[in-house]
Structure 1
Amino acid sequence: MLKTIRLEDAVGSKLSHDITEIRPGEFKGPAFRKGHTVCNEDICHLQKLGKNHLYLIDLEDDEIHENQAASILARGLAGEGVVWEDKPSEGKISLHAAVDGLLMVDTASLAAFNMVDEVMCATLHSHTIVKKGEMVAATRAIPLVMKQAPIERAAAIARQNGAVLSVRPLRNAKVGLIVTGNEVYHGLIKDQFEPILKQKVHGLGSTVIGTEFAPDDEDLIRSAIQSHLNNGCDLLLLSGGLSVDPDDVTRKGIRHAGANEIHYGAAALPGAMFLVAYIGDIPLLGVPACGLHHRITVLDLVLPRILAGERVGKKELAFIGHGGLCKDCPECSYPHCPFGKGI
C-alpha cells in the first residue's frame, strides 16, 4: 500500500524507490536511490525534479515492490547464455549476453509475457549477433507497487517454452566451398565468389577447409560435394548454378550427392534463389549469383543461424519475408538497418 506525504514532511523518511533525473543530452539516471534518507538539503533538488509529494510504502502480504518484481521477471526471461545482476536501477533490470553468439528470442512467448498487465520486456531483434556483455533485453514492472500474482504469472509464461531469451555460441565449422559454372571452370572468367564466401565464413569464426571448382555438370558437382564430405567438412557452401537457365544444374548435383532435404527459394531480396539442403545433419547452402553484386544477401541472415545450431527449413525461409527486402542503400549500414529484422 502507498501513502502520500508532502515533501516538506518527508525529511527523515527513506525513499521507497529511485527518483530519476533527466538533463537533456547530458544525463538520465537516479538522482536519489531507494533507501536514501531525505534531508533538508535534498528538498530544493527534489522540487526541481517536480516532486512536491513522496510515497511511503507499507506492503500488504500479497503486494510486491518494483525491484523485487523486476528480479522475478528477469529470472523467468533469462535462458542459456543470458545473465543479469540482481541490482535493479529505477525498477529496471538489464539482461546481457554471457557469451559471444546469436540472440534467440521466443517472440510468441515475449508477446504473451507483455500482454500481462503491469510488466514489460524489450529485446534486441531475434537472430542478432551479440558480444559477451552486450545488453540484449531489459525488463521491469510498471507500477511502484503491484500484486505479486501477475508478476509470478508473467514469469511462468516466460519459462513455459524454456525461456524467452537465449544466446547460442556460433560453432567453428569446417567449411567446404564449391564454385560452379563452366565460365569459371574453363578459365573464361576469373572467379570472384571464393574470396567473398571466405570473408563471410571467417568473419563468423569458422574455417574454410578447401575450395572445389566444378563445371555445370551434376556428376562433377556431386563428386565435389563428396570430396568435401570425405575431407571432414561439416558445412558446404555452393555458389552459382541456381537460376532458371538450362545449364544451372547445382540442385541436381546436390540431390544426387544424397541430400535428403532440399529447400529451394527464400522470401528475401537479394537471394530469392537461395537453397538450403541437408545430407544427414550436414547443411549445404546454395548461394545465387546475386552474392557477387550485393554485399549483403539472405546468406548473411541464414549462415549465423546455421552456425548457432538451428536447422533452417521451409518455415524459416518463409518467415524471412517479413523484413527480407533489402533497401539497397547507397551506403550499406547492415546490420544496423531493417534487413532481416522482421524475423
Structure 2
Amino acid sequence: MKEIKTEDAIGSVLCHDITEIVKDQRKGSRFKKGHIIKEEDIEVLLNLGKEHLYVFEKDETMIHENDAAEILCNLCFNEYMKKSAISEGKIELTSTIDGLFKVNREELFKVNSFGKMMIATRQGNVPVKKGDKLAGMRIIPLVIEKEKMQQIQEKVQKPILKIMPYQIKTAGIITTGSEVYKGRIKDTFTPVIVEKLKEYGVEVTYHSLSLDDHEMTTSKINEALKQGVDLVLCTGGMSVDPDDKTPLAIKNTGAKIISYGAPVLPGAMFLLSYKGDVPIVGLPGCVMYSRRTIFDVVLPRLLAKDLITSDELALLGEGGLCLNCPVCTFPNCGLSKG
C-alpha cells in the first residue's frame, strides 16, 4: 500500500472505501475498496477533497479480483449459461434453458481446497429453469498471485458445470393391477404420472392396462417399445407380494437391470433398467400418493439421457428421507441430493 497523488492514480487499485456525503440526500461509499481508478474518477475524487489516495502498489506478479473472477468463471462456463457483470469482485452464472444441472464435484473440490478462491454452486443433478441462478465465484483477497491462478487453470479439468437439455419427448405407461384392468377400481396412478411428465413437456403416446401377469406386462412393454417411445414407465406391482409381477416382467424384456430398490423414502421399491438407450422404470405405489418420491429425483436425469448407475442410486441414501415439510421446496432440499 502506498500514498500517491490523485492525479497520478489512474489505473491504480483503491485500498479503502471513499465516502461521499451530500447534505439531506445521501451518505455512503462513492468508491469502494478494490475500485480501479479511471480518468473520469479524478475530478470526482478531487471534489471529495481527496488530493492523495492509498492504493495497492503495482505488482506484475499479482492480479486484481475482477480478473481472477473471470478466470474462475471460465473454469465453470459452458453452453446454455449466461454470466453476470462483475460486482464487487464476484461473477454469477444463470441458466438460459430448462434442463438438468450437473456439477463435476471432484473439480469443484480442487478449486475450493486450493486456497484464496471459491466457487459456490446449487446442488448438482437437479432440474433448473431458464433464468435460475447456478453459481457464483470470486477470490477471497482483493488481489492474488498470478502464478496461483495459472496453477488452478492447469490443475482443473473444465468446464466444471454443465446443463443438459431434456431429450426425451415421449413416454409409454403400463398400468398394472388386475383390479384396475377389470374395472373394479379407478386408475388414479396414471394421471399422476401424466401430470409429472407434462411439467417437462413429455407426451404420453402409449398407455395400456395389464393384469398382474408378468407375461402380459412384458408384452405391453414390448408393444410400447415397438411404437418408439423414449421412456417406459410401469406403475404398480413393485412390492415383494407374490402377486406383484412387474419386476419379473421388466426383466423378461431383456432389459439390463440397474437396480431393484433405492435408498429413498418414499420410493424404496423403485426399479431402474435400460433396454438399449430406453429407460424402463418400475414405479412403486408411493408415487401415486406422495408429493415427492424417488421418481422426482431421477426423472430429470432420465429425461436428459444422463445415464444413472447403481452406485449413484446407492449414494442417494444420505438425504434420501423426505421430511414431508409443510411447504415443499423440492428440488431445493436434501431429497434432491444426488
TM-score, with normalisation over the residues of structure 1? 0.86
Query: Which amino acid in the other structure matches residue 34 of structure 1?
Result: I
Q: Quote the residue 2:24 is aligned against.
A: none
Q: What is the aligned counterpart of 2:271 among 239, 259, 275? A: 275
Q: Quote the residue 2:36 is aligned against.
A: 34
Q: Deviations over 1:282-329 (max 9, x none)?
A: 101111001122011010010101111211121111111121110012
User: Percent of aligned positions with the same letter in both sequences?
Assistant: 38
Q: How is 1:176-215 mapped onto 2 (pairs within 5 angstroms)?
A: 176-215=172-211
SS of 1:64's equivalent? strand
**Distance verdict in 2 for CA 1:20–1:337, change over 3 Å:** farther
Residue 305 (structure 2) pairs with residue 305 (structure 1): no
Contact 2:168 2:305 (8 Å CA) reproduced: no
Structure 1 residue ranges, 4+ long, deviating more than 6 angstroms after superposition: none
Q: Which ranges in structure 2 are unaligned for 5 or more consecutive residues?
A: 20-27
Q: Distance in 2 between matches of 1:315 and 1:84?
A: 33
Q: Distance in 2 between matches of 1:114 and 1:127?
A: 20
Q: Distance in 2 between matches of 1:43 and 1:285?
A: 71
Q: How is 1:86-235 mapped onto 2 (pairs within 5 angstroms)?
A: 87-158=85-156, 160=157, 162-235=158-231
Deviation at 1:13, TM superposition (A): 4.0
Q: What is the aligned counterpart of 1:325 among 314, 321, 328? A: 321
**Distance verdict in 2 for CA 1:329–1:42, change over 3 Å:** same
Residue 71 (structure 2) pairs with residue 72 (structure 1): yes
SS of 2:223's equivalent? helix
Deviation at 1:41, TM superposition (A): 4.8
Q: Distance in 2 between matches of 1:333 and 1:54?
A: 49
Contact 1:119 1:151 (8 Å CA) reproduced: no
Deviation at 1:232, TM superposition (A): 0.9
Q: Deviations over 1:45-65 (max 9, x none)?
A: xxxxxxxx9641333222111
Contact 1:20 1:90 (8 Å CA) reproduced: no
Q: What is the aligned counterpart of 1:16 among 2, 5, 13? A: 13
Q: Quote the residue 1:48 is aligned against.
A: none
Q: Distance in 2 between matches of 1:141 and 1:331?
A: 36
Q: Which ranges in structure 1 are unaligned for 5 or more consecutive residues?
A: 22-28, 45-52
Contact 1:11 1:39 (8 Å CA) reproduced: no
Deviation at 1:330, TM superposition (A): 3.3
Deviation at 1:140, TM superposition (A): 0.8
Deviation at 1:147, TM superposition (A): 0.8
Q: Distance in 2 between matches of 1:20 and 1:264?
A: 63
Q: Distance in 2 between matches of 1:253 and 1:182?
A: 15
Q: Deviations over 1:42-85 (max 9, x none)?
A: 469xxxxxxxx964133322211111111111111223333325
Query: Which amino acid in the other structure matches residue 65 of structure 1?
Result: H
Tell me how large the CA RMSD over aligned residues is.
Answer: 2.5
